[in-house]
Structure 1
Amino acid sequence: MAAKYRILYIDDEVDNLKVFKIAFQNEFAVTIESSPLKGLDLIRNEEFEILVVDQRMPEMTGVEVLENAMQLQRDSVRILLTGYSDMQATINAVNKGKIFYYLSKPWKKEEVKGILLKAIDHYELTKKNKELISRLSQSINELQVFLYRASHDLKAPITTQLGLLNLLREEVTGDSKIYVAKIEEVISRLEKTIDKIRELSDLGYDFVSKNYTSEIAAVVEKVLEKWNQKLQVGEIQVKLNLKQSNDFTLESGLLEMIIDELIENSINFHNKNQTDKWIEIASDFDAPSNMLKLSVKDNGIGIDPTLLDEVTDPFFRGTALSTGNGLGLYIVKRVCDLIHGSIAIHSDGKSGTEVTISIPNLKK
């Protein structure tokens, strides 16, 4: 025989408790208690699928009981019962006690039974959802571990191959040098893809912010130094319009990752036939939302406006000219999701692209 679902009914009127128990003890395992404080002790020590609590009691209100109960047994379905028309109690019950249903006295057995059965359905659905989320989280963690290990295992032989190619370059002559350069280009592209997969695996773990900064300009300069050679070769001018404040704090590693990906995109998709090539990096603070607005704008080849909703998908390439791996903007989107920020991308497909990132202030 299947175990009955457990109900705890708390009401200071003993007659109400007795009637409720007689009415539902055949279908449910009913526990009754006239003292809210003793009722909370029961909740602290026993499991109940459903909590039914009267609103007006001498020791504390039903809303207060349910608010405390929510901290002790978050999964229990909470029902508030009252014989008074009290709109504020209803509002408080919803906001503080997170009730499932609000019942008025006098109640009818069939009506209450129907609500209790719905409460059980709700309890089971919530339980199954939590189990599914737990299994999904486990699968995601296993995938992240696989990506992390695979990227590290692949990195070592690729580094070795690049080292051997450097030695081979010194030995070959003529057309062979061209072939060596092509092989090196392909391997370097694979290395970049592995590096980005490793970045994604790092974001997949329980990320804890450790390196905080208010120096936005310093982070930008660090990234620009990394790309300095490619900027010079491509004759791309960088314009900076950065505002920073000691009242605004960011996670420097994640900010660096965002800027790095956006600058790489702007470099890769600049217009080679254009004489005046530029990238503009700007930052400002939006006081009402307490957010940093960071934008990276260029006058490159742009993105087809019909593809803007897809460019943050993993491995998406918006043009046949792309030599990347389609992970750059996906990584930026993942970082934004991680820090509860947002990304907006604008382009007319002809005169460049502007990516705006909204980043919340970590300073409390």
Structure 2
Amino acid sequence: MPPHGDRFSHAPVRRQRLDPPARALLPRLDDRGRLLAGRRPGPLRVRAQAGRLREPGAGLHARRPDVSPDAFKATPDAPRPRVLYVDDQEGNLVVFKASLKKFADITTASSAAEALALLERGDYPIVISDQKMPGMTGSEFLAEVRRRWPDTVRMLLTAYSDFDAVVAAINDGQVSRFLSKPWERQDLIGAIASADEIVRKTRENRALTEQLLHRERLAAIGQVISGLVHELGNIAAVLAVADDIRDEWKLGHDLTREMEILKTGVDKFHVLVESLRIYSKGGGTLNLARTPTDLAQVVTSSLVLLRLFPVVKGLRSLTCQPPPAPVVVPADGRMLEQVVLNLVKNAAEACEPGRGEVTIRIVPGAGVATIEIADNGPGIPPAAWKKIGEGFYSTKGNKGTGLGLSMCRKIVEAHGGRFEHANNPGGGSTFSLVLPSKA
């Protein structure tokens, strides 16, 4: 057997979590968690300490005779605790579940391997394990749980004479509580109540942290947009010279048409710049000019500009499937054109050059109307879709700013609509702009 110093020298002992009776076992460890030579407690000493720990109110955490069933009354804000209990003895599993089924949702596993499989498939914030199990001991199992699911609250059932298990659980599993065997029902109720409180507080803190990060991200987006507005305004001023050229020079028919298209694009560009300016200064509120808007006209106007982009010209097909009758919604048509333009261009960029196919559909519905933009590209992984719409995240790497889809989402949601995505069964993606058909 290797010396204890080699087994437990990699992690410090967390003494601050243990009550005074348990600390009686731990002074035999040095600052690095190693057993001091010649100081291993003898059997009589361990039994004496175990006897003290089994006295009422003298566990590693004091027993909780005051815990009542009311502590586990589920509400929408505080659902019943979810507990995964692991023990290789079938009888122990049955008794454990029967004793606590009124107070918590109990799932049992007869081995560490079965428990790990359950954790991979479901959410079990509280994990309780017996120590003596074949294949993988409780302390080894909890160490693996800590590595893969660090937010779980882990507890170990063990006899206090098993000193090595206690030390391993402290060093490797970072257990929050030990429960003595044979356990008492009231002790378990109190332990689960405390663990559930830890779980709820941890998740509340994480939610608050995410909200703070989201607000900071929005503030950063606002700063970037402010800078972009200034630069885009300069570009718009240069492009506006096209209008002067058209008026002062006699141009051929074809060139005049191209100049008209350019002028239309500049006008829309000004609208977008102004909206971005208001958005960056108005706490994220877009300035919409709602009028009865024919969605087919929105798509047609967008296609006029889209056909000028080389990446769109490189598509094998770009088709629009109009509805049988006009679909009119209260919307800012020019803002929706920007969304369609952005999404079609993104779809074209996602497709293989020369083989891309993009289809635009307008689908009327009950109380809503939808513009669908589908492509035959590679699709978007679910993990990436969760980040799409956040400022600065782009599937194009360094080639994209990450603001395009974020603005698309904002524009659609400002209309009271939904910005949705799905991967097509045969490949590719479909973006949907679901808009209310009534104000």
- TM-score, structure 2 as length reference: 0.37
| TM-score using structure 1 length | 0.44
